[in-house]
Every structure is written in C-alpha cells, then in structure tokens.
C-alpha cells in the first residue's frame, strides 16, 4: 500500500482548485503580513530583543514556509519566493555549529537547551523539518533540507545516542511525524529509528508535566502501544497517533497499528462532532469523555481537525481505506473548511456548532470569564497555529485524492485532478461537492477503484457510454482499464436527515441535515433569531439551489412560537416557515449572528 503524494497530483478546475488558489493568492500573503507585524519573522533573526519571542514562533514561520513551498509550483510569486529564500538564509545563518536552531532558546536561554520538556522545542524542530522536506521536494529551495538534517542528526545524537537531555519525549508531539517525513524523503534510517524511539519512550516514565494538567494531557499517561482511549490535548494526540500510524506502517509494527485502530474507533464512535471536529473540551483543548459533544461550547480546534485529517490519511494506508476516507471527508468539508473565511483572510481557532450572538455579546462584557464564544473569524491570534496549518493542508490537498494498493489505483476523495499511477494516466473531473457526478478519462492498462461515499443515495455507472454494474467491495467500485477508457459515475446526492447517537445529550431528539459531504446549518441572516426552536418535519419538499460555495437549501419548517409566560401547561404553538440552510463551513461570513445545526 503506497500513498500517491501531492507532488504527483495536479488539480484541475473545481471547488478545491478555487480553495487552493484563494489560499495561494490571499491567505498565504495575509498570514505573512500579520506574522511579520507580530514579530514572528523577526524572531528567527535571533537578535536579542527586550521582549522575547513566543516559544513557538519558529513553528508558525515553519508552517508558513511549508505552505508556501506547496503553492509556489502552481502559483509562482516573486515576493513570496524572496521571503522564502531570505527566511531560509536567516535560519541557516543562525543555526548553531552543532546543528541546533531555536530562536528562543539559543538567544534567551542557551543553558536550557533540551532541558524543558513543556516548551515546544522539538515541536518547533519538527515543523522546520517538515518545511525543509516540502521546500526541497517542491524544488523551491534546497538549502533548508541539509540544515535540518544536521539538526535532526544533532537531536539523534543527544536524545538517542548520548541521552543527556533534560527530558526524553517532547511535551507536544510533532517531531515524530516530521522525522518520518524526513526519513521518507532522504532514506536515512536514523530518522525512523529516532521517531520510533520517541514513540516507544512516551509514557514509560513520569516526565515533567504541564501546570494544572495531568499526564494524559500530552498522552504520557501510559506507553503508546497500550493506549486505547483518545485523551488529552487533541492536537497533541492526533500528531502522536499520526506518527504511530506512520511508524506502524513503515516498520510493520502491528502493535502500533492496533493501538491506532482502537484510538481511531474511540474517536469516531464516541468523540467526533458531526462536522468532523474533535477535542470538545475548551479546558486543555482536550478530548473529554465519550459522547460529551456540546454544540455552543464546542472547542473543536481547527488544528485538531487538520491533525485528524493527517491521521485518517495515514490510517487509510493500512486497510479499511473507505472508512478512514469517509471520516477525512467529513472533517475536511466541515470543521476544517470552516476554519477559514470565504475571503481567505480570517480564521477560527475554535469551531462551535451553535452560536448565540446575544450570549456572546454578554460574555464579552464579563472581563474575567475564562472562555467567551468568538462568532467571527480574526486575522491573527496570539497562538496562531491554525492559519498556516490550514494553508499547508490546502497546499498539499492533492495528496489525499489517490492511493495505490496491490497495483490498483484508488480514488479516495473526489477532487478534479490528474495523476499517473499503476500504469495508467487519469484525468478525473467531478462536480463534487455540488453534485455527485464523476467522470474519469483513463489511458493505459490496469484497475481503478472509486470510493462509494457514505452520503450517496444511489449509484449509476457507465464505461465508455454503456451502463455497467461494476464490482463493489468494501465500499469501492472496481473497474478494469484497458486502453482509452471513460468511466462515468453518478452518486445520488440529496438532502438527508442525520441523527446523532442517543448518548449525545446535546443532540438527542434533534436532527441535522446533510447534503453530500456538507453538514448544513441555519444562520440568523436567513432565518431570524431563536434557531433552536425550528423544527423540520420532512425534507421531501426541500429545494436545492447551487451557489458558488456549495448549496442553499430551502425547506418548509415549523417554528415553536414563544409563549408569553416562561412556563406553561399548554403545548407550544407551531408556525409554518421556510428554513434556509447553507453549508456549515460558510457560517459567520455575514457578521456576528446565531447559527444552528441540530433541529427539532
């Protein structure tokens, strides 16, 4: 089973090419501007300032470099190129002779290098390594790679050979998956060895923990192979699980993969929002307990959604690919896309599933309230991990489309694109997410398989114009390709009710509406306030209108009319109304207002 990575896939006109273009032309530059203004790029100059940089500024810059690398090929830009080259030069110049680079420690606390477990040091290193691999692989800049190999060698020397550091595993996983990427790109086995070492050592001893947090917060409560419940900080968890899946696959380590499957099942069966968001608890940005999925109070950090996409992508390489790709699709089209505004300029860190504008306004007036709903996206956060993370995911989005297994070319996600693999050349055109039409123009000889989306209501297939009933196995449709072959598939796509597990207190007795991969929502701009009092009796008379961003659905509904009194013995009066639904990811682009996903 092999991945077919972003380098081999070129996107064609369609929904995702537009998203990627927006990120290349708007988001990337806007994030750079805000990072420059907030001193993130200044930090890597490693000059001592009165106010030290934040401990993880290097990772912000690194993620920006990585994102820029993916986008340069298709969206070349002299200014961006100049920033990349200058940034790489600065990093290389300031790297210590031993290979070490960290703009905070080497300038402000050189005596504390590799001594403080909870300060994101190896996390920053991991993101720099990922950036170096991407820059080299995309042919944008090849100077960072050798520098970061030297850094990785130094980490190997200190953590694995000498073992003279103040901690064994980093408080924020990331280095592990970065080392795997570096190994896959360079072939240097020490990097895989070190990744596996970091995984194996985690949870084996009581290392330094974060203030006010337990050992589970950074998944150090037990050896990773024994872990079965997804717990702790959700981004940390999913970066760790991604590395476990990587090392498991590359070393054939079934114990690691067994743990990964159990962790995935725990998330998907008990801790996943309908939007694909994960990490419901704001306290510690954590996974909490099974079925604890509040809507207005959802945390569901954008970075956690991105990390879950990474994890699903890796898990799909070890079997059951349809299931993992269905989960990946849910998160990508909903939680992750919602992280960015439609104009590409602003971002959500927290992604609630319900919004109450009046309450948010009230909370703003309470100075000491620890968490306040944010109902509009902002350009930069103090902790600004999510914006560049989104751009780097969208930059490499081609990597989630295809896979190769036993010589079969798998179409896992429906994104218009071209690829050559398994002895075939494929031009994939799809109307998704607007409708379920897929057409594949193939040359060559081989076998191709198309994932059957969970949301389809019907399937019809044609090969070279003739309707066929293809082989169907484990949620894929299999076709033989023999010379020039045109395959058309029409997946029925319509609005459907979705019901939550009755154990989810927040949703029981309610239903959501999905259209294809989109979870839909209602906003006040279309539907007035008090959206939680809306009841959808049926979707039979829904009308679906295509828009630039997906769909707008109109459906006859009822509104429970508020009585005069607060409590009454009379059952509520229902009034007919029309409910307008839009894709969840489009919410909060028209000012602060109410939003609702779950209806009566």
Catalytic residues: 285, 385
Restricting to residues 564-583, which ones interact with a second copy according to CB under 8 A? 564-572
Contacting a second copy (CB under 8 A), which of 279, 284, 373, 399? 284
Q: Is 308 or 394 the residue whose CB approaches a second copy more closely?
A: 308
d(CA 327, CA 451): 12
Angle (nearest 5°) at CA 191 between 189 and 194: 110
Measured from the CB of residue 1, what is the shortest distance to a second copy in angstroms? 26
Closest CA to 66 of 20, 129, 120: 129
Cβ-proximal residues to 564 (8 Å cutoff; 6+ apart), any chain: none
Q: Does 497 bind a second copy (CB under 8 A)?
A: yes
Which span sits near a second copy by CB under 8 A: 47-55, 331-339, 361-369, 473-481? 361-369
- Two tokens at 552? 């707008």
Closest CA to 182 of 173, 193, 197: 193
Measured from the CB of residue 562, what is the shortest distance to a second copy in angstroms? 4
Q: Does 355 bind a second copy (CB under 8 A)?
A: no
Q: Does 505 bind a second copy (CB under 8 A)?
A: yes
Measured from the CB of residue 540, what is the shortest distance to a second copy in angstroms? 14
Q: Kindly state the number of chain residues that form the binding site for a second copy, as judged by CB under 8 A.
A: 59
Q: Does 492 bind a second copy (CB under 8 A)?
A: no
Q: What is the DSSP string of 246-273?
A: HHHHHHT-HHHHHHHHHHHHHIIIIIB-
Which span sits near a second copy by CB under 8 A: 14-22, 40-48, 343-351, 496-504? 496-504
Strands 408-411, 437-451: pairing is parallel
Q: Is 230 or 463 the residue whose CB approaches a second copy more closely?
A: 230
Which span sits near a second copy by CB under 8 A: 414-422, 464-472, 531-539, 584-592? 531-539
User: CA dihedral defined by 197, 174, 396, 384, rounded to 10 degrees?
Assistant: 180
Beta strands in 130-287 (DSSP E): 232-233, 286-287
Contacting a second copy (CB under 8 A), which of 336, 452, 504, 542? 504
Measured from the CB of residue 564, what is the shortest distance to a second copy in angstroms? 8
- Two tokens at 387? 């914006």
Closest CA to 231 of 244, 215, 242: 215
Q: Does 536 bind a second copy (CB under 8 A)?
A: no
* Residues paired with 580 in a beta bridge: 554
Measured from the CB of residue 509, what is the shortest distance to a second copy in angstroms? 4
Between helices 144-155 and 121-137, what is the axis angle to 10°? 140
| Element (DSSP H or E) covering residue 555 | strand 550-560
Q: Is 231 or 337 the residue whose CB approaches a second copy more closely?
A: 231
Q: Is 98 or 563 the residue whose CB approaches a second copy more closely?
A: 563
Measured from the CB of residue 189, what is the shortest distance to a second copy in angstroms? 40
Cβ-proximal residues to 487 (8 Å cutoff; 6+ apart), any chain: 439, 440, 442, 448, 450, 461, 462, 463, 479
| Element (DSSP H or E) covering residue 236 | helix 234-251
Q: Is 477 or 512 the residue whose CB approaches a second copy more closely?
A: 512
CA 17 and chain centroid, separation:
17
Restricting to residues 403-442, which ones interact with a second copy according to CB under 8 A? none
Beta strands in 359-475 (DSSP E): 402-405, 408-411, 417-421, 424-430, 437-451, 459-463, 466-468, 471-473
Q: Does 562 bind a second copy (CB under 8 A)?
A: yes
Contacting a second copy (CB under 8 A), which of 82, 98, 289, 480? 289
Restricting to residues 459-488, which ones interact with a second copy according to CB under 8 A? none
Residue 127, CB half-sphere, CA atoms under 13 Å: how many? 23
Q: What are phi and psi of 575, to 5 degrees?
A: -120, 135
Closest CA to 7 of 164, 134, 120, 108: 134
Measured from the CB of residue 216, what is the shortest distance to a second copy in angstroms? 9
Measured from the CB of residue 326, what is the shortest distance to a second copy in angstroms? 11
Q: Does 535 bind a second copy (CB under 8 A)?
A: yes
Contacting a second copy (CB under 8 A), which of 77, 143, 188, 292? 292
- Two tokens at 92? 């290389």
Q: Is 237 or 500 the residue whose CB approaches a second copy more closely?
A: 500
Angle (nearest 5°) at CA 17 between 544 and 301: 80
Q: Is 49 or 503 the residue whose CB approaches a second copy more closely?
A: 503
Restricting to residues 197-226, which ones interact with a second copy according to CB under 8 A? 211-214
Measured from the CB of residue 458, what is the shortest distance to a second copy in angstroms? 14
Closest CA to 420 of 10, 2, 42: 10
In the complex, the residues that contact a second copy under the rule CB under 8 A are 211-214, 268-270, 272, 274, 283-284, 288-289, 292, 296, 356, 358-359, 362, 365-370, 496-505, 508-512, 530, 532-533, 535, 559-572, 600
């Amino acid at each position: 089973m092999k991945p077919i990575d972003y380098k081999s896939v070129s996107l064609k006109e369609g929904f995702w090419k537009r998203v990627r273009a927006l990120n290349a032309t708007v988001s990337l530059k806007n994030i750079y501007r805000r990072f420059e203004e907030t001193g993130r790029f200044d930090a890597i100059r490693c000059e001592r300032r009165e106010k030290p940089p934040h401990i993880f500024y290097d990772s912000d810059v690194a993620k920006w470099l990585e994102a820029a690398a993916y986008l340069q090929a298709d969206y070349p830009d002299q200014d961006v190129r100049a920033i990349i080259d200058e940034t790489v030069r600065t990093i290389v110049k300031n790297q210590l002779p031993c290979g070490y680079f960290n703009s905070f420690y080497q300038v402000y606390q050189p005596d504390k290098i590799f001594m403080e477990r909870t300060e994101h040091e190896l996390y920053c290193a991991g993101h720099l390594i990922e950036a170096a691999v991407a820059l080299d692989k995309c042919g944008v800049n090849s100077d960072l790679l050798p520098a970061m190999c030297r850094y990785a060698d130094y980490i190997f020397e200190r953590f694995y050979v000498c073992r003279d550091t103040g901690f064994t595993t980093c408080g924020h996983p990331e280095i592990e998956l970065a080392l795997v990427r570096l190994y896959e790109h360079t072939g240097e086995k020490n990097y895989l060895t070190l990744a596996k070492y970091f995984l194996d050592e985690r949870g084996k001893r009581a290392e330094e923990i974060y203030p006010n947090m337990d050992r589970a917060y950074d998944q150090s409560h037990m050896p990773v192979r024994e872990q079965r419940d997804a717990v702790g900080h959700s981004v940390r968890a999913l970066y760790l699980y991604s590395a476990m899946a990587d090392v498991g696959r590359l070393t054939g380590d079934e114990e690691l993969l067994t743990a990964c499957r159990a962790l995935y099942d725990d998330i998907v069966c008990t801790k996943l929002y309908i939007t694909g968001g994960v990490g419901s608890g704001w306290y510690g940005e954590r996974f909490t307990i099974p079925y604890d999925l509040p809507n207005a109070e959802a945390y569901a950090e954008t970075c956690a959604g991105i990390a879950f996409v990474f994890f699903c992508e890796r898990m799909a390489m070890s079997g059951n690919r349809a299931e993992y790709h269905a989960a990946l699709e849910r998160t990508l089209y909903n939680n992750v896309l919602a992280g960015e505004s439609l104009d590409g300029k602003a971002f959500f860190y927290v992604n609630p599933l319900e919004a109450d504008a009046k309450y948010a306004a009230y909370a703003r007036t309470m100075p000491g309230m620890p968490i306040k709903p944010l109902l509009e996206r902002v350009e930069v956060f103090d902790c600004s991990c999510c914006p560049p993370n989104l751009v780097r995911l969208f930059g490499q989005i081609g990597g989630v489309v295809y896979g190769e297994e036993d010589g079969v070319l798998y179409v896992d996600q429906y994104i218009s694109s071209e690829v050559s693999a398994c002895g075939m050349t494929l031009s994939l055109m799809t109307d998704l997410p607007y409708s379920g039409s897929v057409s594949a123009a193939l040359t060559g000889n081989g076998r191709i398989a198309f994932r059957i989306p969970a949301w389809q209501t019907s399937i019809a297939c044609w090969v070279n114009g003739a309707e066929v009933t293809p082989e169907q196995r484990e949620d894929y449709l299999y076709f033989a390709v023999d010379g020039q072959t045109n395959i058309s598939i029409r997946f029925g796509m319509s609005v459907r009710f979705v019901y939550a597990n009755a154990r989810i207190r927040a949703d029981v007795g309610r239903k959501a509406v999905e259209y294809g991969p989109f979870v839909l929502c209602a906003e006040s701009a279309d539907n007035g306030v008090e959206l939680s009092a809306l009841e959808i009796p049926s979707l039979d008379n829904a009308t679906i209108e295509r828009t630039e961003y997906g769909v707008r659905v109109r459906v006859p509904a009822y509104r429970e009319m508020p009585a005069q009194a607060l409590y009454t013995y009379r059952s509520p009066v229902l009034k007919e109304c029309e409910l307008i639904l839009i894709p969840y990811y489009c919410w909060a682009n028209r000012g602060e207002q109410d939003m609702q996903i779950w209806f009566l």
